[in-house]
Protein backbone atom coordinates (compact mmCIF):
# COMPACT_ATOMS: atom_id res chain seq x y z
CA UNK A 1 0.00 0.00 0.00
CA UNK A 2 1.20 3.47 -0.78
CA UNK A 3 2.35 5.38 2.25
CA UNK A 4 -0.09 8.25 2.39
CA UNK A 5 0.09 8.58 6.10
CA UNK A 6 -3.60 9.29 6.60
CA UNK A 7 -4.82 8.25 9.95
CA UNK A 8 -7.30 5.48 9.21
CA UNK A 9 -10.17 7.31 10.79
CA UNK A 10 -10.14 10.07 8.22
CA UNK A 11 -9.72 7.98 5.14
CA UNK A 12 -12.97 9.08 3.74
CA UNK A 13 -14.05 8.54 0.18
CA UNK A 14 -16.80 6.85 -1.60
CA UNK A 15 -17.37 6.74 -5.26
CA UNK A 16 -20.74 6.04 -6.59
CA UNK A 17 -20.38 4.99 -10.13
CA UNK A 18 -23.79 4.45 -11.54
CA UNK A 19 -23.59 1.94 -14.29
CA UNK A 20 -26.93 1.51 -15.93
CA UNK A 21 -29.23 4.04 -17.45
CA UNK A 22 -27.58 4.36 -20.81
CA UNK A 23 -28.41 1.06 -22.37
CA UNK A 24 -32.04 1.67 -21.76
CA UNK A 25 -32.07 5.23 -22.85
CA UNK A 26 -30.26 4.40 -26.02
CA UNK A 27 -32.86 1.87 -26.93
CA UNK A 28 -35.60 4.42 -26.60
CA UNK A 29 -36.30 7.39 -28.85
CA UNK A 30 -33.41 9.84 -28.42
CA UNK A 31 -33.84 12.44 -25.72
CA UNK A 32 -33.37 16.04 -26.79
CA UNK A 33 -29.71 16.03 -25.81
CA UNK A 34 -28.92 12.44 -26.58
CA UNK A 35 -25.25 12.47 -27.60
CA UNK A 36 -25.69 9.27 -29.56
CA UNK A 37 -28.14 10.88 -31.90
CA UNK A 38 -26.10 14.03 -32.13
CA UNK A 39 -22.88 12.21 -32.81
CA UNK A 40 -24.29 9.49 -35.00
CA UNK A 41 -21.58 7.07 -35.99
CA UNK A 42 -18.92 9.21 -34.39
CA UNK A 43 -19.91 8.02 -30.95
CA UNK A 44 -18.07 4.79 -31.40
CA UNK A 45 -14.82 6.48 -32.18
CA UNK A 46 -14.97 8.07 -28.78
CA UNK A 47 -14.67 4.58 -27.36
CA UNK A 48 -11.13 4.13 -28.51
CA UNK A 49 -8.71 3.10 -25.83
CA UNK A 50 -7.35 5.97 -23.86
CA UNK A 51 -3.58 6.21 -24.02
CA UNK A 52 -3.61 6.99 -20.32
CA UNK A 53 -4.70 3.43 -19.73
CA UNK A 54 -1.68 1.52 -20.88
CA UNK A 55 -2.71 -1.39 -23.04
CA UNK A 56 -1.09 -3.79 -20.67
CA UNK A 57 -3.57 -2.79 -18.04
CA UNK A 58 -6.34 -5.39 -17.82
CA UNK A 59 -9.07 -2.77 -17.82
CA UNK A 60 -7.70 -1.23 -20.98
CA UNK A 61 -7.26 -4.62 -22.56
CA UNK A 62 -10.80 -5.54 -21.77
CA UNK A 63 -12.17 -2.30 -23.12
CA UNK A 64 -10.08 -2.68 -26.21
CA UNK A 65 -11.30 -6.18 -26.85
CA UNK A 66 -14.87 -4.99 -26.45
CA UNK A 67 -14.77 -1.92 -28.63
CA UNK A 68 -16.03 -3.79 -31.64
CA UNK A 69 -18.56 -5.73 -29.68
CA UNK A 70 -20.27 -2.83 -27.98
CA UNK A 71 -23.52 -1.97 -29.70
CA UNK A 72 -24.60 1.32 -28.31
CA UNK A 73 -27.58 1.75 -30.53
CA UNK A 74 -29.73 -1.15 -29.52
CA UNK A 75 -30.86 -2.88 -26.40
CA UNK A 76 -32.44 -6.15 -27.38
CA UNK A 77 -35.86 -7.12 -26.08
CA UNK A 78 -35.17 -9.86 -23.59
CA UNK A 79 -37.07 -13.10 -23.53
CA UNK A 80 -38.79 -14.26 -20.35
CA UNK A 81 -36.07 -16.87 -20.07
CA UNK A 82 -33.28 -14.29 -20.26
CA UNK A 83 -34.99 -12.10 -17.71
CA UNK A 84 -35.26 -15.05 -15.36
CA UNK A 85 -31.57 -15.76 -15.77
CA UNK A 86 -30.66 -12.17 -14.99
CA UNK A 87 -32.91 -12.16 -11.95
CA UNK A 88 -31.24 -15.33 -10.75
CA UNK A 89 -27.83 -13.73 -11.20
CA UNK A 90 -28.93 -10.66 -9.29
CA UNK A 91 -30.48 -12.80 -6.59
CA UNK A 92 -27.33 -14.88 -6.32
CA UNK A 93 -25.14 -11.80 -6.14
CA UNK A 94 -27.35 -9.99 -3.67
CA UNK A 95 -26.16 -12.20 -0.86
CA UNK A 96 -22.58 -12.07 -2.06
CA UNK A 97 -20.57 -9.12 -0.93
CA UNK A 98 -17.39 -10.01 -2.67
CA UNK A 99 -14.95 -7.18 -2.38
CA UNK A 100 -12.53 -7.62 -5.21
CA UNK A 101 -8.89 -7.23 -4.28
CA UNK A 102 -9.66 -7.09 -0.57
CA UNK A 103 -7.26 -9.90 0.23
CA UNK A 104 -4.47 -7.61 -0.92
CA UNK A 105 -5.65 -4.99 1.43
CA UNK A 106 -6.80 -4.16 4.90
CA UNK A 107 -10.39 -3.63 5.89
CA UNK A 108 -12.62 -1.22 4.08
CA UNK A 109 -12.14 2.53 4.36
CA UNK A 110 -14.84 4.01 2.20
CA UNK A 111 -17.15 3.56 -0.74
CA UNK A 112 -18.46 4.15 -4.30
CA UNK A 113 -21.42 3.31 -6.70
CA UNK A 114 -22.01 2.26 -10.80
CA UNK A 115 -23.84 3.01 -14.21
CA UNK A 116 -23.80 1.61 -17.70
CA UNK A 117 -22.53 4.02 -20.28
CA UNK A 118 -19.35 2.33 -21.18
CA UNK A 119 -17.62 5.23 -22.86
CA UNK A 120 -18.29 7.66 -20.02
CA UNK A 121 -17.49 5.03 -17.49
CA UNK A 122 -14.13 4.53 -19.11
CA UNK A 123 -13.30 8.20 -18.63
CA UNK A 124 -14.42 8.04 -15.04
CA UNK A 125 -12.27 4.98 -14.44
CA UNK A 126 -9.26 6.65 -16.01
CA UNK A 127 -9.77 9.69 -13.81
CA UNK A 128 -10.22 7.55 -10.71
CA UNK A 129 -7.07 5.68 -11.63
CA UNK A 130 -5.13 8.89 -11.54
CA UNK A 131 -6.53 10.10 -8.25
CA UNK A 132 -4.34 10.23 -5.19
CA UNK A 133 -5.24 7.89 -2.36
CA UNK A 134 -7.73 5.99 -4.46
CA UNK A 135 -6.34 2.83 -2.92
CA UNK A 136 -7.92 3.86 0.37
CA UNK A 137 -11.41 3.94 -1.11
CA UNK A 138 -13.94 1.26 -1.72
CA UNK A 139 -15.68 1.70 -5.04
CA UNK A 140 -19.21 0.38 -5.12
CA UNK A 141 -20.74 0.16 -8.55
CA UNK A 142 -24.51 0.12 -8.41
CA UNK A 143 -26.14 -1.17 -11.59
CA UNK A 144 -29.68 -0.84 -12.81
CA UNK A 145 -28.79 -2.79 -15.90
CA UNK A 146 -27.29 -6.22 -15.78
CA UNK A 147 -24.65 -6.77 -18.41
CA UNK A 148 -21.85 -9.31 -18.34
CA UNK A 149 -19.47 -7.07 -20.29
CA UNK A 150 -19.83 -4.31 -17.77
CA UNK A 151 -19.53 -6.67 -14.85
CA UNK A 152 -16.38 -8.02 -16.38
CA UNK A 153 -15.07 -4.54 -16.99
CA UNK A 154 -15.53 -3.77 -13.31
CA UNK A 155 -13.78 -6.94 -12.24
CA UNK A 156 -10.73 -5.93 -14.28
CA UNK A 157 -10.26 -2.71 -12.35
CA UNK A 158 -6.87 -2.74 -10.81
CA UNK A 159 -6.04 0.73 -11.93
CA UNK A 160 -4.13 1.63 -8.85
CA UNK A 161 -1.42 -0.35 -10.51
CA UNK A 162 -1.07 2.49 -12.94
CA UNK A 163 0.37 4.68 -10.25
CA UNK A 164 2.53 2.33 -8.32
CA UNK A 165 3.25 -1.32 -8.78
CA UNK A 166 1.56 -2.64 -5.68
CA UNK A 167 -1.75 -0.97 -5.20
CA UNK A 168 -5.16 -2.35 -5.92
CA UNK A 169 -8.46 -0.69 -5.43
CA UNK A 170 -11.29 -2.31 -3.64
CA UNK A 171 -14.31 -2.67 -5.83
CA UNK A 172 -17.78 -4.02 -5.22
CA UNK A 173 -20.87 -4.31 -7.36
CA UNK A 174 -24.50 -4.14 -6.36
CA UNK A 175 -27.54 -4.69 -8.57
CA UNK A 176 -30.83 -2.89 -8.38
CA UNK A 177 -33.38 -5.70 -8.26
CA UNK A 178 -36.44 -3.74 -9.45
CA UNK A 179 -35.09 -2.53 -12.76
CA UNK A 180 -36.94 -1.99 -16.00
CA UNK A 181 -34.64 -4.53 -17.56
CA UNK A 182 -36.04 -7.30 -15.42
CA UNK A 183 -39.57 -5.86 -15.21
CA UNK A 184 -40.37 -4.72 -18.73
CA UNK A 185 -44.09 -5.53 -18.44
CA UNK A 186 -44.85 -5.08 -14.76
CA UNK A 187 -44.21 -2.40 -12.18
CA UNK A 188 -41.89 -0.50 -12.12
CA UNK A 189 -41.97 -1.12 -15.87
CA UNK A 190 -45.02 -0.39 -17.95
CA UNK A 191 -47.81 -2.77 -17.02
CA UNK A 192 -50.81 -3.68 -19.13
CA UNK A 193 -53.54 -1.18 -18.33
CA UNK A 194 -51.21 1.66 -17.35
CA UNK A 195 -52.21 5.05 -18.70
CA UNK A 196 -49.78 6.21 -21.37
CA UNK A 197 -48.00 9.49 -20.54
CA UNK A 198 -50.29 11.84 -22.47
CA UNK A 199 -53.65 10.28 -21.69
CA UNK A 200 -56.43 12.89 -21.40
CA UNK A 201 -58.64 12.75 -18.29
CA UNK A 202 -61.75 11.77 -20.29
CA UNK A 203 -59.82 9.04 -22.02
CA UNK A 204 -58.46 7.75 -18.71
CA UNK A 205 -61.99 7.67 -17.30
CA UNK A 206 -63.31 5.88 -20.37
CA UNK A 207 -60.55 3.26 -20.63
CA UNK A 208 -60.23 2.91 -16.85
CA UNK A 209 -56.45 2.84 -17.25
CA UNK A 210 -54.29 2.78 -14.16
CA UNK A 211 -52.23 5.68 -12.89
CA UNK A 212 -52.27 9.11 -11.33
CA UNK A 213 -51.24 12.07 -13.43
CA UNK A 214 -48.55 14.39 -12.11
CA UNK A 215 -48.54 18.14 -11.69
CA UNK A 216 -48.22 18.53 -15.45
CA UNK A 217 -51.04 16.06 -16.17
CA UNK A 218 -48.63 13.43 -17.39
CA UNK A 219 -48.80 9.81 -16.38
CA UNK A 220 -45.79 7.91 -15.10
CA UNK A 221 -42.87 7.23 -17.43
CA UNK A 222 -40.99 4.26 -16.08
CA UNK A 223 -37.65 5.11 -17.65
CA UNK A 224 -37.54 8.41 -15.80
CA UNK A 225 -38.85 7.18 -12.51
CA UNK A 226 -36.31 4.38 -12.39
CA UNK A 227 -33.50 6.83 -11.69
CA UNK A 228 -35.18 8.09 -8.54
CA UNK A 229 -36.06 4.60 -7.36
CA UNK A 230 -32.54 3.40 -8.02
CA UNK A 231 -31.00 6.32 -6.14
CA UNK A 232 -33.10 5.69 -3.05
CA UNK A 233 -32.49 1.97 -3.21
CA UNK A 234 -28.73 2.30 -3.45
CA UNK A 235 -28.52 4.83 -0.63
CA UNK A 236 -30.49 2.43 1.56
CA UNK A 237 -28.38 -0.47 0.44
CA UNK A 238 -25.04 1.21 1.04
CA UNK A 239 -25.81 2.88 4.32
CA UNK A 240 -27.85 0.15 5.93
CA UNK A 241 -27.36 -3.13 4.18
CA UNK A 242 -23.81 -3.60 3.00
CA UNK A 243 -22.16 -5.69 5.65
CA UNK A 244 -18.57 -4.60 4.97
CA UNK A 245 -19.65 -1.02 5.61
CA UNK A 246 -21.27 -1.78 8.95
CA UNK A 247 -18.52 0.01 10.82
CA UNK A 248 -18.05 2.79 8.31
CA UNK A 249 -19.11 6.05 9.90
CA UNK A 250 -17.30 8.22 7.39
CA UNK A 251 -18.48 9.77 4.16
CA UNK A 252 -20.06 8.19 1.15
CA UNK A 253 -19.46 10.16 -2.03
CA UNK A 254 -21.98 9.78 -4.83
CA UNK A 255 -20.66 9.88 -8.38
CA UNK A 256 -22.35 8.96 -11.60
CA UNK A 257 -20.94 7.26 -14.62
CA UNK A 258 -20.66 10.46 -16.66
CA UNK A 259 -18.60 12.24 -14.05
CA UNK A 260 -14.88 12.80 -14.12
CA UNK A 261 -12.76 13.39 -11.03
CA UNK A 262 -9.70 15.54 -10.44
CA UNK A 263 -6.50 14.01 -9.21
CA UNK A 264 -6.93 15.51 -5.74
CA UNK A 265 -10.64 14.86 -5.22
CA UNK A 266 -10.15 12.51 -2.28
CA UNK A 267 -7.56 14.76 -0.78
CA UNK A 268 -9.99 17.71 -0.93
CA UNK A 269 -12.82 15.61 0.44
CA UNK A 270 -10.67 14.69 3.40
CA UNK A 271 -9.60 18.29 4.01
CA UNK A 272 -13.20 19.45 3.89
CA UNK A 273 -14.46 16.71 6.16
CA UNK A 274 -11.86 17.70 8.72
CA UNK A 275 -12.81 21.36 8.31
CA UNK A 276 -16.58 20.97 8.60
CA UNK A 277 -16.97 21.12 12.40
CA UNK A 278 -14.94 24.31 12.53
CA UNK A 279 -15.91 25.94 9.24
CA UNK A 280 -19.59 25.18 9.13
CA UNK A 281 -21.24 23.40 12.01
CA UNK A 282 -24.59 23.31 10.23
CA UNK A 283 -23.18 21.74 7.03
CA UNK A 284 -24.34 18.19 6.58
CA UNK A 285 -22.94 17.72 3.09
CA UNK A 286 -19.78 18.32 1.14
CA UNK A 287 -20.01 19.05 -2.57
CA UNK A 288 -17.02 18.60 -4.84
CA UNK A 289 -18.61 19.54 -8.15
CA UNK A 290 -20.41 22.59 -9.48
CA UNK A 291 -22.03 23.69 -12.71
CA UNK A 292 -20.34 27.05 -13.10
CA UNK A 293 -19.30 27.67 -16.67
CA UNK A 294 -16.03 29.28 -15.69
CA UNK A 295 -13.80 28.83 -12.74
CA UNK A 296 -10.33 29.98 -11.98
CA UNK A 297 -8.14 27.39 -10.36
CA UNK A 298 -5.38 29.92 -9.97
CA UNK A 299 -7.42 32.08 -7.62
CA UNK A 300 -10.09 29.64 -6.42
CA UNK A 301 -8.33 26.34 -5.87
CA UNK A 302 -8.35 26.86 -2.13
CA UNK A 303 -11.72 28.54 -1.78
CA UNK A 304 -14.82 27.00 -0.31
CA UNK A 305 -18.34 28.36 0.02
CA UNK A 306 -20.96 27.66 2.61
CA UNK A 307 -24.46 27.61 1.21
CA UNK A 308 -27.84 26.04 1.49
CA UNK A 309 -27.96 22.81 -0.55
CA UNK A 310 -29.79 23.36 -3.85
CA UNK A 311 -30.53 20.29 -5.92
CA UNK A 312 -29.75 21.78 -9.31
CA UNK A 313 -26.44 23.24 -8.18
CA UNK A 314 -25.11 20.73 -5.73
CA UNK A 315 -26.09 17.30 -6.99
CA UNK A 316 -22.69 16.43 -8.44
CA UNK A 317 -20.06 14.71 -6.39
CA UNK A 318 -21.61 15.24 -3.00
CA UNK A 319 -20.97 13.30 0.15
CA UNK A 320 -22.58 12.70 3.50
CA UNK A 321 -22.36 10.20 6.32
CA UNK A 322 -24.61 7.73 8.05
CA UNK A 323 -25.80 10.23 10.65
CA UNK A 324 -27.18 12.45 7.91
CA UNK A 325 -28.57 9.45 6.07
CA UNK A 326 -30.65 8.54 9.10
CA UNK A 327 -32.18 12.00 9.07
CA UNK A 328 -32.98 11.72 5.38
CA UNK A 329 -34.32 8.23 5.72
CA UNK A 330 -36.67 9.28 8.48
CA UNK A 331 -38.25 11.51 5.82
CA UNK A 332 -38.77 8.66 3.38
CA UNK A 333 -42.42 9.48 2.86
CA UNK A 334 -41.61 12.98 1.74
CA UNK A 335 -38.98 11.68 -0.61
CA UNK A 336 -41.05 8.92 -2.13
CA UNK A 337 -44.35 10.78 -2.37
CA UNK A 338 -42.97 14.01 -3.72
CA UNK A 339 -44.45 14.62 -7.16
CA UNK A 340 -41.18 14.76 -9.05
CA UNK A 341 -39.19 12.00 -10.67
CA UNK A 342 -35.83 13.62 -9.93
CA UNK A 343 -34.14 12.22 -6.84
CA UNK A 344 -32.32 15.49 -6.25
CA UNK A 345 -35.49 17.60 -6.31
CA UNK A 346 -37.09 15.08 -4.00
CA UNK A 347 -34.14 15.46 -1.67
CA UNK A 348 -34.56 19.22 -1.78
CA UNK A 349 -38.21 18.72 -0.85
CA UNK A 350 -37.07 16.66 2.14
CA UNK A 351 -34.64 19.40 3.06
CA UNK A 352 -37.31 22.10 2.84
CA UNK A 353 -40.21 20.35 4.46
CA UNK A 354 -38.99 17.65 6.81
CA UNK A 355 -35.53 18.17 8.27
CA UNK A 356 -35.20 20.17 11.45
CA UNK A 357 -32.59 22.23 9.66
CA UNK A 358 -32.35 22.64 5.89
CA UNK A 359 -29.40 20.94 4.25
CA UNK A 360 -26.32 23.10 4.05
CA UNK A 361 -23.15 22.25 2.22
CA UNK A 362 -19.54 23.20 1.82
CA UNK A 363 -18.89 23.66 -1.91
CA UNK A 364 -15.58 23.96 -3.65
CA UNK A 365 -15.26 27.08 -5.78
CA UNK A 366 -12.95 25.22 -8.11
CA UNK A 367 -14.65 21.87 -8.72
CA UNK A 368 -12.95 18.50 -8.37
CA UNK A 369 -15.79 16.55 -9.98
CA UNK A 370 -16.89 17.39 -13.50
CA UNK A 371 -19.83 16.40 -15.62
CA UNK A 372 -18.81 15.09 -19.03
CA UNK A 373 -22.15 13.68 -20.16
CA UNK A 374 -24.37 15.59 -22.54
CA UNK A 375 -27.38 15.71 -20.30
Ligand X SMILES: *[C@@H]1O[C@H](CO)[C@@H](O)[C@H](O)[C@H]1NC(C)=O
The residue among 72 and 139 lying less far from ligand X, judged by its C-beta, is: 139
Strands (E), 228-301: 252-254, 259-261, 283-287
The residue among 284 and 346 lying less far from ligand X, judged by its C-beta, is: 284
Per CB under 6 A, 323 contacts ligand X: yes
3-state class of 259 per DSSP?
Answer: strand
Non-local (6+) Cβ contacts of 219 within 8 A are 194, 195, 196, 197, 198, 199, 204, 209, 211, 212, 213
The residue among 98 and 299 lying less far from ligand X, judged by its C-beta, is: 98
Question: For residue 1, what are the CA distances in angstroms to 6, 7, 105?
Answer: 12, 14, 8
CA distance 157 to 55: 13
CB 268 within 8 A of CB 288: yes
Per CB under 6 A, 74 contacts ligand X: no
User: Least distance in Å: CB of 141 to ligand X?
Assistant: 13
**Range 6-35, binding ligand X (CB under 6 A):** none
Question: For residue 74, what are the CA distances in angstroms to 18, 115, 287?
Answer: 20, 17, 35
User: Least distance in Å: CB of 342 to ligand X?
Assistant: 24
User: Least distance in Å: CB of 14 to ligand X?
Assistant: 13
Per CB under 6 A, 324 contacts ligand X: yes
DSSP state letter for 185: T
User: Least distance in Å: CB of 174 to ligand X?
Assistant: 12
CB 110 within 8 A of CB 136: yes
Q: Is the peptide bond before 22 cis (omega within 30 degrees of 0)?
A: no
Per CB under 6 A, 216 contacts ligand X: no
User: Least distance in Å: CB of 276 to ligand X?
Assistant: 5
**Range 105-144, binding ligand X (CB under 6 A):** 107
Q: Which stretch binds ligand X (CB under 6 A): 35-43, 242-250, 254-262, 352-360?
A: 242-250
Judged by CB under 6 A, how many residues of this single chain contact ligand X?
A: 15
Binding site for ligand X (CB under 6 A): 92, 96, 98, 107, 243-244, 246-247, 249, 276, 283-284, 321, 323-324
Q: Which residues are annotated as a binding site for Mn(2+)?
A: 258, 371
Amino acid sequence: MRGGGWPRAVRVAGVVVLLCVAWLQLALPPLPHDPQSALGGAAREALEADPALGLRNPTAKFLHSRLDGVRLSSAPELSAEQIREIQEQIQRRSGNETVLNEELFGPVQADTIVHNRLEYLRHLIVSLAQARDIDAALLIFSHDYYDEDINQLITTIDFCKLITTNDFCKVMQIFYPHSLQTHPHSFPGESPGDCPRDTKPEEAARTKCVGTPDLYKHYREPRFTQTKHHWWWKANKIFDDVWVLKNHSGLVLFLEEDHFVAEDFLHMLRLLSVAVPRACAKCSLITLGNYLKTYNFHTDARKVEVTQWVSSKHNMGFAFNHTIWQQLKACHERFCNHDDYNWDWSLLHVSNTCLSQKLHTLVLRAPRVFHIGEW
